[in-house]
Structure 1
Amino acid sequence: MKNIGSIQGKTILLVNTGSIKKRFILQKLKKLGLTIVCLNKEKNWAQPYIDHWVLTEKNSYTEVTNALKTFMAEQPEVHIDGVLTFWEDDVLLTSRIADRFNLIGVPYAVSKKVRNKFLFREFCKEFGLPTPKHTLIKSANDINNLPEDIHFPLVIKPVFGASSAYVVKVENKEEMTNTYNYIRKHMSANVESALADGLDILAEEYIPGDEVDVDIVLQNGKIKFYSISDNYQTKEPFFIETGQATPSALSQKNQNDLISLAEELLEKIGIQNGIIHFEAKSSPTGPVPIEINLRMGGDEVYAFVKGAWGADLIENAVKIALGIYIPIIEKPEMPKKYMVSASFLPDYSGILSRLEVKEELKTYKFLEELHIYKKVADAILVPPEGYEYLGWITVSGYSMLDAQDNLKQALRCVEYDVARFASESSIGKTLRKNSFSHASLTSSILIHAAKIEKFRRIQPEDMLKLHIGIACNLYDENDGVVENELSTVGKNIQGALSQKGYKTTFFNFNDIEKAFKELAASDVDLVVNVCERINNSSLLEPHAASMFDILQIPYTGSNPSTLSLCIDKIRVKKLLAYNKIPTPRWDYAYTVDDDIDENLRYPLIVKPANTDNSIGISNDSVVTDQEGLKAQLKKIIIDLGSPALIEEYIEGDEYDVSILGSEDDDLVVLPLSRSIFKNMSGGDWHIYTNEMKFGQKKIEDYGIVVQRPPKNISKRLESLLTEIALDTYNILDCHDYGRVEIRVDEYDNPYVLELNPNPSINVHDCIPSVAKLSGLEYADFLEKVITMAINRYRNHPPYHHLISNPM
């Protein structure tokens, strides 16, 4: 037997890093002393753990083979000793690589039968192994011509699927037709990447019984170790996992039967080596295989096996790949720990409106793992709209009962609310004729975006080859000052980028039908989105971004959700209050008769709750008594037709904090901008009015002093403003660029007024001006924004900016 020293210094070829959720695997591989060569589409979060990259498109075996040959020729000192993957998508590719380069693995001819669920069922049937009656569904006509010996209920599933995506139980032909039509229309590798191998559909009889996972260490055809876990009852008709427990509560006889079946199946199908994740049912008539996964199980599997039995599946996967002999791994008579887990699954799709993880949870010694993949205001799409969950938790105990009690205690520390999609929502409906009748409203998240994929592959040296669209509003010169500003920003952006060398096209969103048709027919690679109105209404601004998503065109700036949220100042106030961001004390009104919080102290400022460009803001907006408040409410609610936001007036300087970026590793806070009002005339309140911003006079003519950067402010205040602005920016999920407006009172207490997620970026506007202080000329600033958008799309799947922000 070789010890761990035999692993150290060896070189392993890792096929696909997987998502950042697989970080623990890379960390373990490095601790083993391996040299890691990674075959991947691009460099990513795993960079600190990878010694050598082989970058190639993995969907072409020829390209992969050529890339590996080139790497071996250019790096002759690097000798690849073994190959493995932890990602279902790449099981077939890993087998082909093992075959081609004479490495240990599952032969491609075998793995092809295993990955294809229909071929797997056919194999079991041919060799007399337990298998449900089944058939391949290639068209809706096949449903009306099912074999006579196949009986409902049935389970239909993608032939190449994984993680229970699109696996549905149906009770009759009507349900089956509805489900089949939905799956065929919306099944996509963008939702479940393992589907890239094919989109055929299998129908098989439902197997009653207890579902289990059997995790096996298999070397030279011998089972060296196994662990059986019970799966908790899934939420039928969909088979979304709700939790697991190890060790299994099945009788010893039933467990022995499962292992005997696994051993027979693996031997007959020809699997000799690997970490096997075998899924099966312990039915009333005996064990029945569901599927074989030729890689380590995901999520809690590694922690379960390690915690309960002390066996390290990652280390043993490496030993198998390197040909290092593994003796029988003796399991203790009793597990070291009893392990249980639970998934956080909402009952319906919606928006995560509240999430609280109590601090005491971290003090529990029985807590093994906690993974949360969503944040407040994120969408969670559960079947049939999607296959997401909030996260999962794993705990341990000295007995199964103790572990289950610990799980209950831990679950009480995680509280969340999901706001159900309303009937008028564009994402989903509450009332449905069947489970799939309105699920198509979310189908855009399932569509493979070819244009986005092309965009995500662009290299830095190809930047100037991009065709950039500018989405803007074009007005006549005589339409007004505000309208003129909306027009010139697009023209100036187009001029600056064209001068830089980009091909540009202008899309006038004042003619929305024409703009849509032109965009759909265009070959633009990315749109700089500075559209602020549709149908002459700023309330429709978010729909411009929605249009780009529908057309699968990448764009700069924030997503429709953030743009819509930030238009509604009342909702923003509620979200900031929830996250304990300091804002002026406030209330709101939808009618002039609404009661206003009597604890608010005058003077108050009354603002429209859903307008931009300071529309509705004048010197009269600040009121000092009840009479003035009523008069202003009437102007806002009745005359302007907007709900009213009422805030305590904060006397002091106003700071604009400009931010670039979207994620923690690329966020940049630009130099601050400070407005000082103390020199204004005595009759004016110290605020920016609509007239000041867009009238004939200059800002300085009103006595306002603008400092960029501010002079004579303390480092403490500068840091505080920066931190609060970043928190606000992240809470509201701003992308690429934004500006946070903050008031500071006489005691240096900051109060967030609002976030502008897509503020104007004309030549002399705030963000380009402070960017210039950082050395970015206007065209360079625009290119910086474009580059950040490119990186945002490159580093994530299509529509990540709409539905998720994974770890």
Structure 2
Amino acid sequence: MKNSLIGKIILLVNTGSIKKRFILKRLKQMGLIIVCLNKEKNWADAYVDHWILADNANHAEAIQAIKDFKIANSHINIEGALTFWEDDVLLTSKITDRFNFTGIPFSAAKKVRNKFLFREFCLENYLPSPKHILLKSSKDIVFLPDNLQFPLVIKPAFGASSAYVIKVNNKEELVSTYDYIEQNISAKTESTLADGMDIFVEEYIDGDEVDVDIILQNGKTKFFSISDNFQTKEPFFVETGQAIPSSLPAKSQSDLLEMAEETLEKLGIQNGIIHFEAKSTPAGPVPIEINLRMGGDYVYSYIKGSWGIDLIENAVKIALGEHLKIQKPAEPIKYIIGQDFRSDNSGVLVKLNIKDEVKRLSFVEEMHFYKKIGDPILVPPEGYDNLGWITVSGYSLLDAQDNLQKASAFINFEIAKFTANSSIGKTSRKNSFSEALLNVDLLLQAAKIEKIRRITKEDQRKLYIGIAANVNKDVHNGHLPIEKNIEKALRERGYRTTVFDLNNIEKAFLKMRASEVDLIFNVGEKIHNSNILASYAPSIFDILQIPYTGSSSLALGLSMDKIQVKKLLSYHGIPTSKWDYIHEINEEIDNTLRYPQIVKPANTDRSFGITNESVVNNQEERFKQLKKIIEEMGSPALIEEYIEGDEYDVAVLGNKDIDLRVLPLSRYIFKDMPSDLRHIFTYNMKNFDVSLADFGIVVQRPAKNISKKLETLITEIALDTYNILNCYDYGLVGIRVDQDDNPYVLELNANPSINIQDCLAETAKLTQINYGDFLEEVIRMAVRRYQNKPLDYRLQLSQSQDNANEPK
């Protein structure tokens, strides 16, 4: 038979989500030229011939965009318009009215899309309708009409997919449920709500729920099919599956069709694919709602399988004005049952096992799964997710039911429920709508923690990695900025990456919140151009519940507070040079401290404030430095006895009780420095493009000619320091060794730079770990840490730290 649709030009209003791919694919198979009105180009680009880009939520803008397209492309003669997406039913009706296409009038569509107005229409036209009332505020609940008897159903006037449709059994439940809906109703949760946020309540209709799918042309029913819905999960009316054809008595089916046809006739709807939801009750059929487009999920699949009727093809022919000749079989070709796969609780998908055998079963019609391992699964009231669905066939309803049971046995999944030891703590709740349960954002972010906790080593490269850094476009000494090197190395290994620029923390926060990253590399060194504020970056990740590499805000802030570090080290008996500190210039200083001394700012890093003059030989020189630090820099001052000797950097990888280890030592020898320079690292040495060799500093990596005893002692002291300050994943401990081989801890850098040329990466290279492998090892260590630690471990202070924080 000749295909009359080849070369016809159709306007598709909204592609819908990627779940609608099968529709676009079928449209192209028919040889149509597709012009698509959509907000943006998306996954459907391979199927669309011409795009009209506009905001479909702004109907005036969308219609004007069509006009502009027609003027600019006069050779493209659009012959009809249709949609398969509930959000744009009203817009499509406006388009068919404005351009004189065949379709559903806007006057009828607006009565149907608003479920409250549809109830009013039914009453006015003597059609069956549940008793109902619009709720303008919770006060209206107090004055409910006497004829509204519980149980009731509360729902949005605009909506789809049963979102916010809830059964209530008494007035107390109605109040709490209304408050829940009013506070949480959003087009973000259910896009069809963009048309309006009205809420109403109606009586609960007890009966058999069915779908009546109708092909209507010029007011005549060219085809109909009735399917039975499985019992929904109340109180949220979550759909679980369907069976086609209906097993209801012939009289009940006849009454349902008659009621649907009468309703459509009185609405003035003469053309379209109609998905009519109703209930069959002992008192007769009752309309629930009407979808003025093809039903979703497996409706297309099971009608084609059971009756051989192609709803997509017929929708196109109606839109293009082609006369339909449909011969419905006297008996169904086969009986089909569809089942949705849903979870009983919100959580994260941790196992999805679909055995190959199920695909070889002859009675399996279609099977689609939209979720993958690691995805959050939200069930009411948090969300309305399903994992996917399957349809199976049989020569009778019982045969199809048996086949569904056989097929389902090959499909197993596991949802990790959010628990106290998972991602959400125990919370006392008065009811299912209490505030603790309503934070969907929290659940979605918590799923990221769960995904990390359950990732396997083999799946590590499937992680989506964020890189939080101070983006720098400059190249220093031939080296790219750290975020570029990390991004390059990870992408070469197959990771998907995104950079978040901490130079604009507000923008970075919003971008991180909206992102789907699984783990963040925290390599930022400043926030609002402040090194001190950089320690707060992990708090942002914690708030967003995005796992990250490196130490917590607590550890970063603590390591920058040199006074507190000194107290902790002293409390734990870690060797450190004798010291004191002051906040005011006139405070007393321990007079037993020997000269020379070194005077430093007490709350900075990267040697900020340290110059050649920081080493002082007498009280006059010390006073000058103290005045500079306290009065000019506004910082407390740390005064230490100066230790002459070599300096060591000890690179530590891993986490306490899991995978802790030390990389080869780096040694800095100062004896060849010019006589006028002190044997220290100044700010200029650490922060500008200079070579340490220019200052006469010899760098040994690994350290040479040191005794095994000293190496062991340095290593053990560094590990103790790292653990005492609760560092994670990696860190750098600075140690000074005097002429008698006595080691003294200088500082801990809990967030050292891990660029390709820096100490950590260079020492890792000495152990045959290249840069990319080193970064992957950091990821692995972070993953293991999340898998082995309680979720609040980052915020816990040890008792020893509390004790060490006693007043001076």
Normalization by structure 2: what TM-score? 0.62
Paired with 1:542 and 1:371, the residues of 2 have a C-alpha distance of 39
Paired with 1:32 and 1:401, the residues of 2 have a C-alpha distance of 35
Q: Match for residue 339 of structure 2?
A: 342
Query: Does the aligned pair in 1 maintain the 2:765–2:771 contact within 8 Å?
Result: no
Flag the 1:164–1:618 CA change in 2: closer, same or farther, 3 A: same
Q: Match for residue 73 of structure 1?
A: 71
1:93 corresponds to 2:91: yes
Q: Match for residue 663 of structure 1?
A: none
Task: Tell me the SS of whatever aligns to 1:58.
Answer: coil
Paired with 2:20 and 2:764, the residues of 1 have a C-alpha distance of 59
Q: Match for residue 414 of structure 2?
A: 417
Q: Match for residue 402 of structure 2?
A: 405
Task: Tell me the SS of whatever aligns to 1:225.
Answer: strand
**CA distances 1:721-744 after superposition (whole Å, capped 9, x unpaired):** xxxx9xxxxxxxxxxxx95359xx
How far is 1:47 from its partner?
0.8
Query: Does the aligned pair in 2 maintain the 1:42–1:56 contact within 8 Å?
Result: yes
Paired with 1:692 and 1:58, the residues of 2 have a C-alpha distance of 47
**CA distances 1:143-202 after superposition (whole Å, capped 9, x unpaired):** 111122111111011101001111100011111111111111111111111111011112
Match of 1:395 among 392, 396, 400: 392
1:273 corresponds to 2:318: no
Task: Tell me the SS of whatever aligns to 2:110.
Answer: helix
Give the 5 Å matches for 1:592-631: 608-609=654-655, 616-618=661-663
How far is 1:545 from its partner?
3.8
- Read off the aligned partner of 1:409 and give its amino acid letter: K
Give the 5 Å matches for 1:183-222: 183-222=181-220
1:544 corresponds to 2:540: yes
Query: Does the aligned pair in 2 maintain the 1:231–1:244 contact within 8 Å?
Result: yes
Paired with 2:184 and 2:163, the residues of 1 have a C-alpha distance of 11
Flag the 1:146–1:696 CA change in 2: closer, same or farther, 3 A: closer
- Read off the aligned partner of 1:112 and give its amino acid letter: K
Paired with 2:367 and 2:407, the residues of 1 have a C-alpha distance of 10
- Read off the aligned partner of 1:617 and give its amino acid letter: V
Paired with 1:76 and 1:373, the residues of 2 have a C-alpha distance of 40
How far is 1:420 from its partner?
1.2
How far is 1:392 from its partner?
1.2
How far is 1:695 from its partner?
8.4
Flag the 1:698–1:15 CA change in 2: closer, same or farther, 3 A: closer
**CA distances 1:534-555 after superposition (whole Å, capped 9, x unpaired):** 99999996652465x6xxxxxx
How far is 1:699 from its partner?
3.0
How far is 1:700 from its partner?
7.6
Q: Match for residue 302 of structure 2?
A: 304
How far is 1:259 from its partner?
0.3
Q: Match for residue 42 of structure 2?
A: 44
Q: Match for residue 595 of structure 1?
A: none
Q: Match for residue 293 of structure 2?
A: 295
Query: Does the aligned pair in 1 maintain the 2:500–2:508 contact within 8 Å?
Result: no
Q: Match for residue 128 of structure 2?
A: 130
Task: Tell me the SS of whatever aligns to 1:6.
Answer: coil
- Read off the aligned partner of 2:290 and give its amino acid letter: I
Flag the 1:43–1:521 CA change in 2: closer, same or farther, 3 A: closer
**CA distances 1:613-671 after superposition (whole Å, capped 9, x unpaired):** x9753469xxxxxxx9xx99x979995598999xxxxxxxxxxxxxxxxxxxxxxxxxx
**CA distances 1:490-540 after superposition (whole Å, capped 9, x unpaired):** 9999xxxxxxxx998736xxxxxxx78x98999x99999864599999999
Paired with 2:508 and 2:764, the residues of 1 have a C-alpha distance of 43
Task: Tell me the SS of whatever aligns to 2:439.
Answer: helix
CA RMSD of aligned residues (A): 4.5
Paired with 2:780 and 2:423, the residues of 1 have a C-alpha distance of 29
Match of 2:548 among 551, 554, 563: 563
Query: Does the aligned pair in 1 maintain the 2:294–2:311 contact within 8 Å?
Result: yes
Paired with 1:410 and 1:525, the residues of 2 have a C-alpha distance of 38
- Read off the aligned partner of 1:333 and give its amino acid letter: A
* Identity over aligned pairs, percent: 53
Give the 5 Å matches for 1:399-548: 399-423=396-420, 432-438=429-435, 440-444=437-441, 506=503, 531=522, 543-545=539-541, 547=543
Query: Does the aligned pair in 2 maintain the 1:542–1:564 contact within 8 Å?
Result: no
**CA distances 1:235-260 after superposition (whole Å, capped 9, x unpaired):** 10001100000011101110000000
How far is 1:563 from its partner?
3.5
- Read off the aligned partner of 2:548 and give its amino acid letter: L
Q: Match for residue 316 of structure 1?
A: 314
Higher relative contact order (CA 8 A, sep 6+): 1
Normalization by structure 1: what TM-score? 0.62
Give the 5 Å matches for 1:21-32: 21-32=19-30
Match of 1:366 among 357, 363, 367: 363
Task: Tell me the SS of whatever aligns to 1:250.
Answer: coil
Query: Does the aligned pair in 1 maintain the 2:654–2:781 contact within 8 Å?
Result: no
How far is 1:6 from its partner?
2.4
Query: Does the aligned pair in 1 maintain the 2:664–2:763 contact within 8 Å?
Result: no
Paired with 2:48 and 2:765, the residues of 1 have a C-alpha distance of 59
Q: Match for residue 796 of structure 2?
A: none
Query: Does the aligned pair in 2 maintain the 1:217–1:223 contact within 8 Å?
Result: yes
Query: Does the aligned pair in 2 maintain the 1:208–1:284 contact within 8 Å?
Result: no
- Read off the aligned partner of 2:431 and give its amino acid letter: N
Paired with 2:234 and 2:434, the residues of 1 have a C-alpha distance of 18
Paired with 1:526 and 1:410, the residues of 2 have a C-alpha distance of 36
Paired with 2:274 and 2:753, the residues of 1 have a C-alpha distance of 69
Paired with 2:753 and 2:73, the residues of 1 have a C-alpha distance of 65
Q: Match for residue 18 of structure 1?
A: 16
Task: Tell me the SS of whatever aligns to 1:46.
Answer: helix
Paired with 1:302 and 1:436, the residues of 2 have a C-alpha distance of 35
Task: Tell me the SS of whatever aligns to 2:43.
Answer: coil
Give the 5 Å matches for 1:622-701: 699=762
